[in-house]
Chain A
Amino acid sequence: MRTVLFALCIAFAAIGPARSQDDAHTITVTGISSFKLVETLLPKFTERSGIKVNLQILPYPQLRARAMADLVGGTANSDIYLQDIIWLGEWAKGGYVRPLDDLFARDAAEVKMDDILPGAFNALSRWDGKIWSVPVGAFYFIDYYRTDLFAERGLAPPVTLDDVDRAAAALTDPAQNRFGIAMAYQRGGPIASWFLATYAGAGGTLLTDPPRNFRPTLDSKLALSVLTHYVGWLKSAPRGAIGYHWNDQTVAMQTGRLAMAPTFSVNGAEFVKKENSVVSDKVGFTYMPRADAAQKPVIPFGGWAAAINAHSAKTEAAWTFLKFILSPEAQRDLGKLSGTPVLYSALNDPELQKLYPWLPFIAAAEKAGAIHPDYRPRYAFYPQIEDVLGLQLNKAALGQTTPEQALAEAQSAITAIVKGAGYPAE
């Protein structure tokens, strides 16, 4: 018996180094469901680099919880985490992820910086003058609409908030199960994010002038006007829209129930996929409605980047993976599936443009600097802002408070959050 045990110990000891050697060539990447598409590219990556990827896909709240536990705890259960745009400031300030400037500089010949979409790169990866991550998915908030329904009624694509009101009312026909517009109205992230995108499109910004002045602007006439329109659109929305998450809005558009669905381009991609949508060949797009037609249009921006855990011992392997994801070839392949590439070369690819007709529009907006990266402030306190704003907006949508009351409550709560976090708000 002793001999057998001794032999087993020897065997384990022999296997040990082999396993750890194997582990050194395996990186763990933890991301959100939209990043699962990368799975199709992993065999190619492993074949070229010899690095295996353990891909962990989690729902948004779990990703946030696991990433924060790992990053704050100073452990490295995952070498790379997908980073939502709104986490950038928090992760950079906390030193949770590794700055990538030296690696970008070292491999400048390999990574073509001028091919990366500047709006996306600045919004997703640059903070306090440093690069903290690599953009992997660029989501542009634009107003999708049904070309056939607008043509039937002789309506032009909406330019202003008033245009949206008129078009939504004209195109609503409950008897035919068709509605003019639906936004996200569910409490929390959905309504806060969709409202702020509408506010930004109309020319507003939530905070006055960060980093100098973080005073919220919800007491402005513009904020009230936008919220009044936003809540008013419920009259032209399906009855259940009051509880819509953005996924519900996507499904409603895909199933032909909506005439307009302002949303991120990653959801817009689902509208034009023949296998998923009954309106795939009837989808038009334009900027988010403005308060005044004379205003310069902007595109609220969101999206995802990939960052290297500051405590990862596998920086080189992780960086090799990030370079692969950022390569024109991978971006083209991923872009075909998601419609959200982060390189000009992929945006200008004719095959991609055929699949997602708004890509030239995005490329032009990027060139014109029309991207609004801070429609949701990229600071550590944003989740709290989103919660209080999401609650007050939802109450206004439910009719429990007036838009004025909701905005006043949110203004006061957000000011307290910002000041509590130590930022000036005068």
Chain B
Amino acid sequence: MRRTLLLTIESSALQVAAGLGVALLFNRNWPGMGAIRTLFLAPMMIAPLFVGMIWRLMLSDDFGVVRYLFSLAGVSEPPLWLDDPDWALQTVVFVSVWEWTAFAMLFVIAGLQAIPGDVMEAASLDGCGAWQRFRHMTWPLLRPTLLAVALFRVIDGFKLFDIIFAMTAGGPGDATTTLSYFVYQQGLAFFDLGYAATLALVMLGMVAVLTAPLLRGGTERSAA
């Protein structure tokens, strides 16, 4: 349970933060920006199972490209990303962030483009710097969008399964055995369908509890 919460909260927060950063960077009318944005969406278009398989190969200590890149940087023995219990969950978080940051970025760019240009222009004319414009205008106007993205990412993070299935199979030890992986094992490996269905219902309740503050935040904001 602790691992599931850690994975969900950490990956959702990082995805939203990274998505916001990348969206602010990409929300410009520079030449070629459309193509760059599209390329950035590519990880999201790959099935998560294949994302897991691809990263498992890239992170292989025997022939993975990641170890090769570390060796070029003078690190001959980088961590065993997927096979060290201290690193495995963080590696799953990283891969999840790699895949789903684009999703957050897409939402945030849409939110940024919905902010009226004349409001920002007026603020500039009133002498607001970039940080002040972001702090007092962009951030409050983006907040509902960010809450919506966080809601989606928390739900998805909670049921993250494919990447774990393909990369670690719940290991090493039980370092990446999350609730959704456990449900899979009970249901589809041991065929204890009653137990798996019960656990799935518990998961539903937990997701509801976890997302309630986000929903409340969004509703209060709308009412305001």
Contact = CB atoms under 8 A, between A and B. Distances in A.
Interface of A: 61, 64-65, 68, 72, 186-188, 238-240, 242-243, 248, 251-252, 255, 257, 383-384, 387, 391, 394-395, 398, 400
Nearest to A386: B189
A240 B60 contact: yes
A64 B189 contact: yes
A394 B188 contact: no
Contacts of A394: 171-173
Contact of B62 (A68, A238, A384): A238
Nearest to A391: B174
A383 B189 contact: yes
Contact of B172 (A187, A238, A255): A187
A188 B173 contact: no
Nearest to B62: A240
B188 A65 contact: yes
Contacts, number: 66
Contacts of B169: 186-188
B112 interface: no
Nearest to B169: A188
Given A64-B188, A240-B80, A240-B83, A400 B61 contact: no
Nearest to B82: A243
B173 A400 contact: yes
Interface string B162-175: 00010011111110
B191 A187 contact: no
Given A243-B171, A248-B62, 7 more contacts: A186-B169, A240-B61, A243-B82, A257-B62, A387-B185, A398-B172, A400-B85
B77 interface: yes
A79 B151 CA distance: 44
Contacts of A68: 188, 191
Given A186-B171, A239-B77, A391-B174, A398 B85 contact: yes
Which secondary structure dominates where chain A touches chain B? helix
A239 B82 CA distance: 12
Contacts of A395: 173
Interface in B72-89: 77, 80, 82-83, 85
13 contacts: A61-B188, A186-B171, A188-B169, A238-B62, A239-B77, A240-B80, A240-B83, A243-B61, A243-B171, A243-B172, A248-B62, A394-B171, A398-B85
B190 interface: yes
Given A239-B77, A398-B85, A400-B85, A187 B173 contact: yes
Given A61-B188, A68-B191, A251-B62, A242 B170 contact: no
A187 B171 CA distance: 6
A240 B169 CA distance: 16
Contacts of A257: 62
Q: Which one of A188, A243, A251, A400 has the greatest number of beta carbons of chain B within 10 Å?
A: A243
B173 A384 contact: no
Q: Which one of B77, B82, B188 has the greatest number of beta carbons of chain A within 10 Å?
A: B188
Given A186-B171, A188-B170, A243 B189 contact: no
A387 B170 CA distance: 11
Would you list the 9 A-B pairs with minimal beta carbon distance, nearest first?
Answer: A240-B61, A187-B171, A243-B83, A65-B188, A242-B83, A395-B173, A188-B169, A384-B190, A383-B189
B96 to A, nearest CB: 19
A72 to B, nearest CB: 7
Given A252-B62, A400-B85, A242 B172 contact: yes
Interface string B80-110: 1011010000000000000000000000000
Nearest to B61: A240
Contacts of A187: 168-174
B20 to A, nearest CB: 34
Contacts of A72: 191
Nearest to B83: A243
Contacts of A64: 188-189
Nearest to A59: B49
Q: Which one of B63, B85, B170, B189 has the greatest number of beta carbons of chain A within 10 Å?
A: B189
Contacts of B171: 186-188, 243, 391, 394
A364 B173 CA distance: 40
Contacts of B82: 243
A187 B170 CA distance: 8
B189 A61 contact: yes
